Structures are given as structure tokens and as C-alpha cells.
Amino acid sequence: MNTKQRILDEALTLFSEKGYANVFVGDIADRVGIKAPSLYKHYKNKRAIFDAIIEEMNRRFEEQAKAMQINGTDAAADAGIYKSLSEDRLLKLGREFFLYYLHDDYNKKFRKMLTLEQFHDMELAKVYSKLYVDDPLSYQGMLFGFMVTAGVLKTDNVQIMTLHFYAPIYYLMTICDREPDREPEALKLLDGHIKQFDRLYGRNS
């Protein structure tokens, strides 16, 4: 009954593993448990499946953004919560963020798919940059801005500080996407990174 959605899910899985061009309509159909021609009852053609995935991601993303904005303004109003930020807490937050993005099935697959398709047209490049480069940076930048105001972090350039926090996380994430075996190693580095970050920028530096 929800075949239409199942098609998107299975297609995303396949696209994220092999890239759009290497996935056959028949592969998707197989995984859904139908025959290739049946798939055309739901989508005009292969490309439409891909486009629907991108659209779904946009939809999900906007929901999430809305939710985060609410959190954000709450947080701004109540800057007090940042004052209590200890190294342990920063560590926990960083790790949670990392593991969520890394393991969340939908995020992981979508990110891998976009990685493989990012050079195909400008629009996809923009989506990639937005989701994995610019938005995380500006969101974290906002949080760090509060923390600087609250005196928990010290810097005269929040943007660069945020880059110093996020770039290693991004770097480690790409490693894990490519070689999942290396996750333990990456997690160890992540901890080292955040601890060191706290030492460099934290209250008592």
C-alpha cells in the first residue's frame, strides 16, 4: 500500500551505495518486491524517483529547521543554560551530534548519495553545501555565539572558532562514511578533538 514510499526508501539505499547511474530500475523494483514495470505506476521514470528523494529531504529539512529555530530562540532567551557548560557536557553534545548524523539511517544515506552526485549539477552542489557545510556551521556558530556571550568560551572570532570545532567533525564523518570500520578510531579522535577544543577556547584557557 505504501509502495510509493518504499520505492523511495529502497532507491535511496541503492543510490547511496552505488550512485544513481549504477542503479537499475529493476534493482529498486526487486528490493521493493515488485517488477520493474510496476514501478512506473508510481513514478514517471527513474529520474522522478531521484527528484522525489531530494524533495522529501527538503521537506524533512524544513521541518527540522523549524524545530531548531524554536529551540534556538528559547535558548537565546535563557542564556543561563550555557553558563553551566562543562567540558564533559561539550563532549557529550559533540559526540551526540556526530553519532546522530553519522548513524541516522536517512541522514547517512542521503549524505552518501549527495556525495556521489554533488558534481552533476549546481543544484545538487548547493544542497550538499547547505546541508553539510554551511548550515551546521551557522547553527553551531549561533550556539557558540551564546556561549561566548555567556563567558563559557573565549574568542575574538566566532566564525573561525566554529570552523575549528566543526571541520574536524566533518572530516571524521567523511572517514566513517567511506570506511565504517574506522569508526572507533574516529570516535577516539573526536574525543581528543573536543577536549583540546575546550582547552583552547574554554573558560579556563
In the complex, the residues that contact a second copy under the rule CB under 8 A are: 16-19, 21-22, 112, 115-116, 118-120, 122, 125-126, 128-129, 133, 157, 159-161, 163-164, 166-168, 170-171, 174-175, 177-179, 189, 192-193, 196, 200
Write down the least CB distance from residue 13 to DNA, Å: 15
Euclidean distance between CA atoms 109 and 86, whole angstroms = 33
Residues 37-66 that bind DNA (CB under 7 A): 37-38, 40-42, 44-47
Measured CA distances, 171 to 18, 59, 101, 104, 191 (Å): 22, 27, 13, 18, 14
- Triad 196, 172, 135: Cα angle to 5°: 90
Residue 46 interaction partner, one of a second copy, DNA, none, beta carbon < 5-8 Å per kind: DNA
Note the Cα 123 to chain centre separation in Å: 18
Binding span for DNA by CB under 7 A among 25-33, 85-93, 123-131, 187-195: 25-33
**Local structure of residue 180 (DSSP, 8 states):** G
Contact pick of 5, 17, 24, 76 for DNA (by CB under 7 A): 24
Euclidean distance between CA atoms 169 and 175, whole angstroms = 10
